[in-house]
Structure 1
Amino acid sequence: MQILGAPIQCGHVLTPTETVMSSLSLPSPTLSTPAWRIAVVGCAFSLIWSSAFIAGKQAMTGCGPFTLLSLRFLAAGALLWLLRRWLPGDTPQQAAAPAIAWRHALIAGLLTNVVYLGLGYHGLRHVPAGLTAILVSVSPLLTAAMAALWLREPLGARQLLGLLCGMGGVAWIMAGRNGGASALDHKAWLGVGMILAGALALAASTLYNRRAAGQLNPWRIARLQLWASGLTLLPLALWTEGLQLNPTPLVLASLAYQATVVSIGTTLMLLWLVRHGGAAKASSFHLLNPLFGVLLAAALLGETVTLSDVLGALPIVAGLGLVMRR
């Protein structure tokens, strides 16, 4: 017989590991989606995702990280609620989705918005925005390994080589832009540890989104994840930061951009990428974060793009091409 998409032999008692794997398993990604379309959406996703670090750095000049994230998610969720009448409704298949799919969507949202961004924005106080974007790029390798072991998504030698090439480019850019590990003080190392722990949570959330994206309405997933994350962070912001907000034009503009373009846009793009390309391929676009992070920092913050940055971008693009190739 078959339970939640996973074949189970009669008379076999599931182990805890098999139970979790069965609940998260899904049919293969939509193979009919052209690779160029996945690439376009993925590049746009990475560009917007990378811009959030620069916008967040600017916004935290007027409020704390928990306050910023809580207001960002609540504002984005309120906007989707106001627009709900004009958004696509559930299909019959989505309306009949099991309750476990909603639990996976909720877990994915909390892992991404509360754990990953909560740790990441705290680390961002001691780590440059460009380095933060680079560190988050370890998540594709974590996602690919977890997807292969947990969801049984195929991970061939070519895809693994592509991920390793991308990670090599990330390490090259990180060393070139930050003077190596010796340039980081103890506060910066603490921030790096927070960001890397958040990257692990991001990888896990991608796998949970893999389950939810194939069964539920993406607009309703986004609304659930944003509301739940904002309400979870609200008491933390009140307790640790007193919900203090200095409403300067820069802070308000950054908050508005993050609530609309970043929170809503990247959530929907990630759900689309996971559904049409799989968890590992969707996460591989984070390998472009260092490239976009460097370019945005140069354009918006006046940072210099070095030859080392360009050389580091080459294996990242080559690695992404190996992962994307059918």
Structure 2
Amino acid sequence: MSTTALPTRRAPDRFAILLMVGLCAIWGLQQVAIKSTNAAVPPVFQAGLRSAIASVLVWAWARSRGTPLFRDDGTLGAGLLAGVLFAAEFICIFLGLTLTSASRMAVFLYTAPCFTALGLHWFVDGERMRRIQWLGIIVAFAGMALAFADGFVHAGPGASGAQGSTLAGAAGDALGVLAGITWAATTVVVRGSRLAHTSASKTLLYQLMVSAVVLLALALGLGQARVENVTPLALASLAYQAVIVAFVSYLLWFWLLTRYIASRLSVFSFLTPLFGVSFGVLLLRESFSAGFLIAALLVLIGIALVNAPAKRQAV
């Protein structure tokens, strides 16, 4: 991928920071929504339906605003690649979760900001990271790892749900890392290609349409293309995933990528698993310890370091 000259993006301001925190909360709650729907709709089919529904919503939104979606603007190749990467991320997540625990998956998945920063540093002009920002990523990742390590300790070495020590668990962990890499690669493709010059609606539609086709085909191949035991909660959860997460939140995310430095935005993703644990405490009555609070503080410190203002002579 060549280093294409792109419009200047700025560091996140107060509005962008508040919006990113809200998006992370939405993404954290998604884990509860997925669990609430699994009994009615298998995971891969669930992801495919979410992408398909959101595709229709994005198309309708763009049409209502007169945003051109099918004009030849040289984004087809990058758009298809972003869509395949987007689908691969969810394939890795859902298949990985059959082999390893959700907590371990979260640890490895949310290495994505580190891979994003590396990819942007290498391939995209204007996304160079300073030493203090690299330190922020390390501190935030350490805090996130501590948060989930605390959960592993309290599970106990003989807990029936403990995984990761077997070959299957290691494979699931590897899929979590691969999901983080594909998530990061999607961001790099969006920022380092002609997609950076197109509308957020078109960028998102590429990913949703391609992922819908790939995920629904995979669900069919795996025998997951079925719906059973449908409840109002399952329908509400699927609607939350399709409308709030895949449509509204992703559209806002790609809009932010067109205006702010992507590496500074991506580090906020560390908040998502912390929100996920918090919602688990509130909605699933899970417990947490002082270790979790310390971990959350480390994550916030890391985010503050990554978003530290540059010195006057910094380029």
- Fold shared per TM-score above 0.5: yes
Indicate whether 1:35 and 2:13 are aligned: yes
Name the one with the larger helix percent.
1
2:235 to 252, 259, 274: 252
Asked if 1:98 is matched to 2:79, the reply is no
Pair 1:321-2:304 in alignment: yes
Aligned to 2:138: 164
Seen in structure 2, the aligned counterparts of structure 1 residues 98 and 26 have a Cα distance that, compared at 3 Å, is farther
Matched to 1:135, the amino acid is: F
Q: Which of 174, 183, 187 is equivalent to 1:202?
A: 183
Provide Cα deviations, 1:75-114, integer angstroms capped at 9, x if missing partner.
1112233444423525xxx998731x332233223212x1
Identify the residue that residue 222 of structure 2 maps to in structure 1: 240
Distance 2:142 2:273 in 1: 12
Identify the residue that residue 72 of structure 1 maps to in structure 2: 50
- The partner residue of 2:174 within 190, 193, 201 is 193
Aligned-pair Cα RMSD in Å: 2.4
The answer as to whether partners of 1:214 and 1:275 remain within 8 angstroms in 2 is: yes
What CA distance in whole angstroms lies between the structure 1 residues aligned with 2:110 and 2:218? 27
The within-5 A match list for 1:134-283 is 134-152=107-125, 153-179=127-153, 183-185=162-164, 186=166, 187-210=168-191, 211-246=193-228, 247-283=230-266
Structure 2 unaligned regions, length at least 5: 310-315
Shift of 1:143: 0.7
What is the aligned length? 299
Cα separation, partners in 2 of 1:181 and 1:105, compared to 1, 3 Å: farther
C-alpha separation in 1, matches of 2:195 and 2:106: 25
Distance verdict in 2 for CA 1:86–1:96, change over 3 Å: closer
SS at match of 1:241: coil
Gaps of 5+ in 1: 1-19
Structure 1 contact 143–203 (Cα < 8 Å) conserved = yes
How far 1:202 sits from its partner (Å)?
0.3
Q: Look up the equivalent residue of 1:98 and give its one-letter code.
A: D
Separation in 1, partners of 2:111, 2:119? 13
Q: Using a 3 Å threshold, how does the CA distance of structure 1 residues 26 and 58 change in structure 2: closer, same or farther?
A: farther
The code of the aligned residue for 1:27 comes to L
> What is the deviation of 1:296?
1.1
Identity level (%): 25
